[in-house]
A and B are shown apart, each in its own frame.
Chain A
Amino acid sequence: MPPKVDPHKCDGCKGEKEAICMAICPGDLMYLNEDTLKAYCRSPRDCWDCMSCVKACPQGAIETRLPYQLGYYPAKLIPLMGSKRVSWTCIGQDDKVERFSYKNRND
């Protein structure tokens, strides 16, 4: 299912050439709308839900909609990156919240 971009939070990475979600997407699916300079997924069907863009977005502007096989609305899976830790918040369709956090970098 497609990554959803919050147009209020996305700032098109203010960058010169390539936004970070564009650079990181392994399927080359993320693009910037040339007029609004906001990111969008150009082919939602091709997205594998790897969530690289969600984790990489410096503005926290991208959210993944879970595929129905995993959980119906309002189920959510939300990563949050620290400088050397990552956390995952899983919200089940029964509204149960589970949180995990671990170190993912040692330098």
Chain B
Amino acid sequence: MKMLAKGRILVVGGGIAGLTAAERLARAGAGVVLVEKSPYLGGRVARLHRYYPRMCPPRCGLEVLINNIRGFPHVETHLLTEVIDVKKASSGIHTVTLLKKPRRVMDTCTACGLCETACPAEKKTSFCSQAIKAIRGPGDWAHPATFWVDEGMCRGRDCSLCVQACPEQAVDLSQQPEETDLDVQGIIIATGTELYDASLIKEYGYGRLPGVITAMELESFFRPDGPAGGLPVHPATGEPLRRVAFIQCAGSRNANHLPYCSGYCCTVTLKQVEYLHQSLKDVQTWIFYQDIRTPGNREEYYRHVREEYRPVFIRGLPSSIKYRPETGELTVKCVDTLSRKEVRGRFDLVVLATGMAPPALPEFYGIERDGSGFFSGHIPCEPTELRRPGIWAAGSVQSPMDAEESVKSALAAVAQCLVKLRQQPAAFPALDQRKCDRCGRCVKECPYGACIPGSDGYPAADPGDCRGCGICQGGCPLLCINLPGYGSKKIEEVVDKVLTRGGPEMAILLFLCGNDAYPAWNSLIKQQKGKGLEGIMPMVVPCIGAVNAAWVSEALIGGLDGVMLAGCRPDQCHHAAGTSLAATRLDNLKETLTRMRLEPERVSLTQVTIDDSLKLFKEIQNFKSSLEKLGPNPFK
């Protein structure tokens, strides 16, 4: 098959986001290595009964993806495998180390289940789930249909009852973990995140009170592998459910738990109310909520559920849940904030609609997190890409997401990934090897990790990783890195021009960051028509971090009266480190100037946003008047 996109991509996580990403990349012709930590593909979506908005069973969408993935020869799938290390091998290539844990059941398994019957190691994980065995199958639906041995529960080779029971001799308890190294061009992280641990909300008594469950557990009630084989009955009594309460924002929008709204839990509850009413005639449902948040077309679904099934909505979150062992009932106490009256209700089952907790991610990805602890890309320009190029995120590792949003974000990550694989060489820094002494400063300062020493020790930027900010050029002590169109030559020309012109007029060199300061400057000259801007020589740079301290020195030695740098605010710098690096360089220079008895006010760094043209004008005027007070540059 002709490969349309060169290279190989590692997709970490086999949930809906990871599967979507892997399948689309494979269809575009890229080599894919799909790695999943658990023994089965499908992730959390595979454990759902239905997913909204179309209320289709998840197997429908997942099966298409998995079948396509199986059909491509250039997709490798590794289950029970974790990424334990990621290193940048050379420019554009990551070396990843995979740890494959033993499945201990070979592909010849026919999923007959005789081993599971024979297995003596049994455990019950929660009151509403069936007991599990150490060797077990995929449950209702999952891919692949092969059993696996849970290392934590297995009694080891002394027991070996499963080995004897297997008619296909597919169980091999001697398998050991394996480590492999792999070179990939890119990594898509679709590891998702865990749901918030409901037992941390003490007042709801999850894990302590029988009958308090999470929404994810209620989902399993409707599945053939659920506690009652798909019947919505009370797991303890076996009676059909009569009164069910849903508590929204369980651990969400609460400073003691998760401060944010996960966004999907309200729709999940509405969906589950619909399941309950469809399968049970006499069921009553109550929803305790703060606000029902169903943005976009989900509002219509909210209206549908509200009018069709008439659940009782109580605006307020319960303060306590009490359990009566004699009747097995749960009493929920709550203040209705609309009527300001206390409401009590008795229920068979209380369902906590928990949100998504921030993901636990290993250090080696170098992921930056937002205020809530989720992956943060450069929003809105590069929302899926890490600052380390070649690593993208998809799915709920980015923010709490439902299946639909996860698929969308996976498609966005794939699009970015394909751009990188088919990248055309763009303008990026040129290195003069005759001058370079391989000091490595550019390697350290590059905010994208795009600059990597080659086998000869000289730094080389990868065209796919480099974003042309020029921070390497700004930091180079030997001035041997030049961005096309921005190098030292241009500064020297300006200085020479001022020197040949001579005269007492004030001359100021103004460096403008191309992202924000330059557009602000442009609107400024239109507004001012050149008035008040005499003597200013503007010079555009891709990022203010691309200004080398030697250029500023050059201008001062050459007799210019002042040098001003206009960059973005540090938190808005498009290249993350540019403004702060420029500030450090200028501080160092100012200290030297002070020792030289040259006024440090002759250099200045100002921070502007794109619409700050007036601020820029004021800063320029202030700078000019302070220079007038200082008098001409003594080097003039």
Contact = CB atoms under 8 A, between A and B. Distances in A.
B596 A78 contact: yes
Contact of A83 (B437, B444, B453, B551): B551
Contacts of A56: 477
B591 A83 contact: no
A82 B444 contact: no
Most buried by B among A9, A13, A83, A87: A83
A13 B439 contact: yes
A78 B557 CA distance: 13
A81 B596 contact: no
Nearest to A59: B588
Contacts of B440: 13-17
The interface residues of chain B, by DSSP majority, are classed as helix
A16 to B, nearest CB: 4
A39 interface: no
B598 A89 contact: yes
A82 B437 contact: no
Given A6-B591, A60-B591, A84 B554 contact: yes
A63 B596 CA distance: 11
B588 A86 contact: no
Interface in B525-573: 548-551, 553-558
Contacts of A15: 439-441, 444
Contacts of A14: 440-441, 444-445
B580 interface: no
A20 interface: yes
Interface in A49-95: 56, 58-61, 63, 76, 78, 80-87, 89, 91
A86 to B, nearest CB: 7
Nearest to B634: A99
Given A14-B440, A15-B440, A15-B444, A84 B492 contact: yes
Given A80-B592, A85-B558, A23 B598 contact: no
Nearest to B435: A107
A62 to B, nearest CB: 10
Most buried by A among B439, B589, B591, B598: B439
A101 interface: yes
A56 B591 CA distance: 16
A63 B594 CA distance: 13
Interface string B581-598: 000000011011001111
Contacts of A59: 588
B479 interface: yes
Number of contact residues on A: which range applies? 20 to 34
Given A76-B595, A83-B550, A9 B479 contact: no
Most buried by B among A80, A82, A89: A82
A46 B443 CA distance: 33
A75 to B, nearest CB: 12
B488 A83 contact: yes
A28 interface: no
B597 A89 contact: yes
Contacts of B591: 6, 9, 60
A19 B453 CA distance: 16
B305 interface: no
Interface string B267-308: 000000000000000000000000000000000000000000
A1 interface: no
Contacts of A13: 439-441, 477
Contacts of A101: 557-558, 635
Contact of B588 (A18, A61, A99): A61
A82 B550 contact: yes
A85 B492 CA distance: 9
Interface of B: 437, 439-441, 443-445, 453, 475, 477, 479, 488, 491-492, 495, 548-551, 553-558, 588-589, 591-592, 595-598, 634-635
14 contacts: A13-B477, A15-B440, A15-B441, A56-B477, A58-B477, A80-B592, A81-B553, A82-B554, A82-B557, A83-B488, A83-B551, A83-B553, A89-B596, A97-B634
Interface of A: 6, 9, 13-20, 23, 56, 58-61, 63, 76, 78, 80-87, 89, 91, 97, 99, 101
Given A9-B591, A97-B634, 18 more contacts: A13-B477, A18-B439, A19-B439, A20-B439, A20-B477, A60-B549, A61-B588, A78-B592, A78-B595, A82-B554, A83-B488, A83-B491, A83-B551, A83-B553, A84-B554, A87-B635, A99-B635, A101-B558
